[in-house]
Chain A
Amino acid sequence: MAEPRPVLEMTGIVKEFPGVRALSGVDFRLFPGEIHALMGENGAGKSTLIKVLTGVHPLDGGTVTLDGKAVRIGSPLEAQHAGVSTVYQEVNLCPNLSVAENIFIGREPTRAGRIQWKQVRTQAAEMVDRLGLDIDVTAPLSAYPLAVQQLIAIVRSVGHGDSDGEGSGTKVLVLDEPTSSLDRDEVLELFRLMRQLRDEGVAILFVSHFLDQIYEICDRMTVLRNGTLVGEHMVADLDQVQLIELMIGKALDQLEGLHEHQLRSDVGETLVKAEGLGRTGGIAPFDLEIKKGEVLGLAGLLGSGRTELARLLFGADQPDSGKVTIAGKQVSMSAPNDAIGAGVAFCSENRKTEGLVLDLTVRENIILALQASRGWTRPIPASQRDELVAKYIKALDIRPANPEARVGQLSGGNQQKVLLARWLITQPKLLILDEPTRGIDVGAKAEIQKLVVSLSEDGMSVLYIAAELEEVLRLSHTIGVLRDRKLVAQLTNGPEITTSKILETIASGEHQ
């Protein structure tokens, strides 16, 4: 394929946030009439690159060339004028206005300052019709489901830049995770619209966590990792396993051989049983069994539904379907309180925002869950409290070993231990750990992993979520593999299970 001139060229893009280099010298190009995927794990710099392109963030270095001309894009409005339109994951339209008005607002045709409503309606209807959509433009936006609102946002985007509503002034259309809350039919409709616009010569930048969708719709992809460019490939030249390797930055054979077992082999009777548990927009219905003393590891890419699964088991999100049985009793799971009552504890991956109270002391944080389960009318006696806190500070080796220290001042690893201590003190039957080792140093990481093993030996069940497959593999009796918000396989850990095997399962989406 002969390469025409790119419509958009970004060269040596650098973006720094205080303390973080989000993008270091990334090159990116986009050709007219192609759908281009921007790939990378969370934190790889995808959103930052898009925000630089659409004028939300000013860039700290590098050049942007649009249609052969160097441009500086300072705001979303300037980006629109330059021909770069964005449709965000959250639909950014006004639900209280009509569809036609949402398409036209800010550029309504006027005569002597008076809006020509008839013209607005007929032109909006024409634009909607031209793109093959059947939408009543006089209806309020809120009358349509989110998927259709997203299509309307695209209609608005591509109609931008020309006042008469004919043709398209948009050269580049950025779709940032547009499919995350759509069902299959809605995705197909979106894809049809994307193909039509591509065939009209619009360059589309598409971001999605769903690999299948990337392979279905995209022509070319750019892969980022840790703020650097890994490569640009035609989608047809790269299979899913290769793509995942590029995204996580490790070749499969490198991952082999790291795998050792120190797990006790016998596990007890079934403790937690989930049947058909699911939540629309969160995770597809799944069946899951966790035995007493078992460590169940969850593997999958970021955004594959790992956290969503854990939140359902903790009642932090309400399931739409299915039921949960814990120790033989069915639990309603309509609120975390139900789960806590049944002996489930949950350490969130966002320990600073969803776990700890940073302004309180170590002691207050540790005692929080136990006190909450007793109710505020029955305070824990001071002597008993201090004894418990001292015991767990010692057991987990929390440093500084000062119950009066403010949690916000502790290192990440010690914060994680405080959070763990808080739940261990309640003596849960099932401990859910969502990325407990993220962002903490190697030593603390090993300690936490050792702790998980010893807890399991003492008969506590653990649901363990980690981004690193080796970690999951090392600790788990059983590995649940997630992909595209679905639990696709449950592998019993054994010598034949390797990280490459897990990766293959993630990539293929089925148990091999």
Chain B
Amino acid sequence: MSATTKTRTAAEGRTASKPAQASAATRLLGDRRLPVLVTVGLFLAMYIAGISRYQNYGFGEPQVFLNLFIDNGYLLVAAVGATLVIMSGGIDLSVGSVIGFTTMFTAWLVEEQGLPLLLVIPLALGVGAFGGFLMGYVIHNFEIQPFIVTLAGLFLFRGLCLVISKESISISNSTVSSMAQTRVSLGLGELSIGALVALVVVAAAFYILHYTRFGRRVYAIGGNEQSALLMGLPLGGTKIAVYTVSGFCSALAGLLFILFIQSGDPLHGIGMELDAIAAVVIGGTLLTGGSGYVLGTLFGVLVLGLIKTIISFEGTLSSWWTKIATGVLLGAFILIQRAMTARKQT
């Protein structure tokens, strides 16, 4: 153990030493950014491998890269919400159900009730956020594990889908279809509205997490909840807000999913909470909370998307290989996390 204080008073009559310089390897392993860097490196390696293997099929086209955002925008938004929750040391299993419910709720209001889209969008977002708020409230005030409370939310919202209708409702609203087809040109290629919204959400989450007191409280609570309480931080408000944001993100992801698929279906989004959690973990956020970056989540989603792209380019592989690859990656990243936390405990 090394003392790290300088001796100012001669009376103490002793010299203090600087902390011993850790070796480069241990410092790298201790760096909280390491998992994110690994994810970025993995993405680049996969991308370069894809380009060299499928050169003749146009894998290197900028649009193939941009399609990752277009095809996975909804997942990215859901994963950003999940990032906040996991960072605070919790978990949200209701994501997929809220997405499914939002598609049903929106399709039903627009198609069968004839409500204007401008009213339906805030309504759908509000319902998602309120659902998250309720779960956060129960988690905090009754001190119940987030796992159980959001599991209840998962069943509740999935059930509500079926209350609206057992059949899927396709959306023929002209505004929705024109929005879905709108492409914004970036010179090299183009992005959909959904992809743009997702990028805005990532930027907003980055700002909130790093430049607001709320964001820092999320890190503090995830780091050590008891300490955060004794430091006088408002625990309850922060936790409830985190689940509210997650609910909002899930509802927004549901709206983007509608743009992507143009229908409401009680079976939409089944298991998507697990995709979101996988993206967050692959993006380097510790499941124990307190450590992670929303940009890591962005790359986590991109890696998952790239796996799908590569498998579709390969042509002969079944789409189940996506799941297998995700499983292998997830396992590898959990092991990296374990190595990091084990080092910290020594």
Known: A106-B232, A114-B211. A92 touches B16 (CB 8 A): no
| Interchain CB contact under 8 A, B211 and A95 | no
CB within 8 Å of A: which B202-248 residues? 210-213, 216-217, 219-220, 222-224, 226-233
Q: Are A93 and B227 within 8 A (Cβ)? A: yes
Q: Which residues of B contact A357 (CB under 8 A)?
A: none
CA of A135 to CA of B5 in the docked complex: distance in angstroms? 7
- The answer, yes or no, to whether B315 is at the interface (CB within 8 Å) is no
- B contact residues, total (Cβ < 8 Å): 37
Contact among A94, A140, A144 for B227, CB-based, below 8 A: A94
Chain B residues positioned under 8 Å from A183 (CB to CB): 1
Taken together as a complex, chains A and B put the C-alpha atoms of A282 and B212 apart, in Å, by 42
Q: Which of B2, B4, B9, B290 contacts A94 (CB 8 A)?
A: B290
Bound complex: CA of A117 vs CA of B2, how far in Å?
Answer: 28
Residues of B within 8 A of A255 (CB): none
A113 near B212 with CB under 8 A, answer yes
Q: Which of B2, B220, B227, B232 contacts A145 (CB 8 A)?
A: B2
A134 to B3, alpha carbons, bound, how many Å?
A: 10
Contact stretch, chosen from A186-194, A236-244, A270-278, A348-356: A186-194
> For B217, B219, B227, B290, which residue has the most chain A Cβ atoms within 10 angstroms?
B227
A114→B212 contact, CB < 8 A: yes
User: Please, how many angstroms separate the alpha-carbon atoms of A445 and B171 in the complex?
Assistant: 82
> Are B3 and A132 in touch, CB under 8 angstroms?
no
Does B106 sit within 8 A of A, measured CB to CB?
Answer: no
Contacts of B3 in A (CB 8 A): 147-148, 185-186, 189
Q: Which of A88, A105, A133, A192 contacts B220 (CB 8 A)?
A: A105
A76 touches B232 (CB 8 A): yes
B291 touches A96 (CB 8 A): yes
Q: How far is the CB of A213 from chain B (nearest CB, A)?
A: 16
**B239 smallest CB distance to A (angstroms):** 15
Which chain A residues border B6 with CB–CB below 8 Å? 132-134
B216 near A188: Cβ-Cβ < 8 Å: no
CA distance A148 to B222 in the complex (A): 22
Q: Are B14's CB and A188's CB within 8 A?
A: yes
B256 to chain A, nearest CB (A): 27
Residue A156, interface by CB 8 Å: yes
Chain B residues at the A interface, C-beta cutoff of 8 Å? 1-6, 8-9, 12, 14, 16, 18-19, 30, 32, 210-213, 216-217, 219-220, 222-224, 226-233, 290-291, 344
Binding site for B on A (CB under 8 A): 76-77, 80, 86, 88, 91-97, 101, 105-106, 108, 110, 113-115, 117, 132-135, 140, 142-145, 147-148, 151, 156, 183, 185-186, 188-189, 192
Ordered by A's residue number, 19 sampled pairs between the chains whose C-beta atoms are within 8 Å are: A80-B232, A86-B230, A92-B226, A92-B230, A93-B231, A95-B224, A95-B344, A97-B220, A106-B231, A114-B212, A115-B211, A132-B8, A133-B5, A134-B4, A144-B19, A183-B1, A189-B3, A192-B9, A192-B12
**16 new A-B contacts at CB < 8 Å, known A76-B229, A115-B210, A185-B14:** A93-B224, A93-B227, A94-B224, A94-B228, A95-B223, A95-B344, A105-B216, A105-B231, A108-B213, A108-B216, A132-B9, A133-B6, A134-B6, A143-B30, A145-B1, A192-B12
9 tightest Cβ-Cβ pairs between the two chains A and B: A94-B223, A96-B223, A134-B6, A96-B290, A77-B232, A92-B227, A92-B230, A132-B8, A94-B220
